[in-house]
Amino acid sequence: MGEISDYFVWGAISAYTIAMVLFAVDLARISEEIGAKKRSKMNAFVSSSNHDEEVTAGSVVEAEPDDTPPITYVGRQTKALGIAMATTTLGVLFHAIAVVTRGLAAGRVPWANMYEFTLTGTFVAIGLFLLIQLFKEIRYIGVFLTFIAVTFLMVGMQGFHVAADSVQPALQDFWLVIHVGIAVGATGVLTVAFVVSLLQLLRDSRNNGSTLLHGEGVVIRQTNRFAWKALDMRWLEVLPQPERLEALSFRINAVGFVMWTFTIIGGAIWADEAWGRAWGWDPKEVWSFIVWVVYAAYLHARTTRGWSGRRAAYFVLIGYATVLFNFTGVNILFNGKHSYSGL
């Protein structure tokens, strides 16, 4: 069963990789479509100006209104995007089989060590992506989320992988299901929120820099122009406005924060039962609390202090960095009561 699980993990990695490439191809085509539309509009403007005998030097000519529908992700149907979503769904199916067979091989829930935490955490993130997509258009995060899933699963397989086996007696408790299970779910949820906030920053940069980047009647900053041209970031124009992305990130982060709160509460109860104290300044306990404080500060600052825009997005990025360090750095750099579990 353990080997079967590994085969399906590689199958999921392959499917996510294909999806990632196709999501990227679709974004590149969006950039081409936007560029072609702008060139067509400019050519039409120049043509109408040249044929207008009343035009004099220095006069202002207004372009004809653009009646073509805007390029958007909502309702977008392309072959690349369709295959990307299909292969993502296939990857989630492979991923689910890998998680289930891993649990069957170990004879317990499959989230008792770093490899299994990575396996199930990425499954939650991609699963949440597909779930939200049923109600709200978020396919634009697909390339980033599949990239994260592929990266994390590859690191898990190459760096954290261990044979499926039973756990230490201290972990043979129903709190393993509750405490660690909620932590896995929270990490997956916060991963999706991180991607949305990252796109919020990129969209905001595109909005604020569009005049300078495209040279619309002002002096062009050549360095910015060439840098953005190299990255070909025109696809950012089809994303929702930064305010909408921020609102989506806030809602997802709020869910992740509630789950992380229950993670800490469950961990304290389990620690009291297993070690005779609810809190002992163990490195994992301290960093879990730091994660909670950062996200609590983010939610408080946004709801009561009026923090919004880029400041809120940076807060989310910092919060997710603490989540990653809590999972990797704390386990690798520090010794504590959680060390024997690999979590």
* Segment 25-64, tens digit of pLDDT: 998 888 777 766 665 555 554 555 555 545 454 555 454 5
Q: Distance between CA atoms of 229 and 213, rounded to whole angstroms?
A: 8
| 215 band by pLDDT with thresholds 50, 70 and 90 | very low
Check whether 222 has a pLDDT greater than 70.
no
SS3 327: helix
Contact (Cβ atoms closer than 8 angstroms) between residue 222 and residue 155 = no
pLDDT band at 212 (very low <50, low <70, confident <90, very high): very low
Q: Cα(12)–Cα(17) distance, rounded to whole angstroms?
A: 8
The pLDDT score that the predictor gives to residue 244 is: 94
Cα(92)–Cα(130) distance, rounded to whole angstroms?
Answer: 9
Say if residue 279's pLDDT is above 60: yes
pLDDT score recorded for residue 66: 52
- CA quadruple 129, 132, 138, 139: dihedral positive or negative? positive
The more confidently predicted of residues 271 and 143 is: 143
Domain spans in the chain, listed from the N-terminal domain onward: 1-164, 167-343
Among the listed residues 297, 322, 325, 327, the one whose alpha carbon sits nearest the alpha carbon of residue 311 = 297
Among 14-18, 213-217, 248-252, the least confident range: 213-217
Confidence of residue 228 (pLDDT cuts 50, 70, 90): very low
Quick one: pLDDT at residue 225? 47
Nearest C-alpha neighbor of 261 from the set 179, 177, 176: 179
Q: What pLDDT sits at residue 213?
A: 37
Contact assessment for residue 245 and residue 203, using Cβ atoms and an 8 Å cutoff: yes
| pLDDT mean over 185-210 | 90
What's residue 173's pLDDT?
Answer: 76
Element (H, E) at 150: helix 142-155
User: From the CB of residue 262, how many other CB atoms can be counted at a distance below 10 Å?
Assistant: 15
Average confidence (pLDDT) over 226-245: 73
Q: Check pLDDT > 50 for residue 221.
A: no
Question: Do the Cβ atoms of 106 and 319 come closer than 8 Å?
Answer: no
What tens digit of pLDDT does each residue of 149-185 get? 999 999 999 998 888 887 777 677 788 889 889 999 9
77: pLDDT strictly greater than 90: no
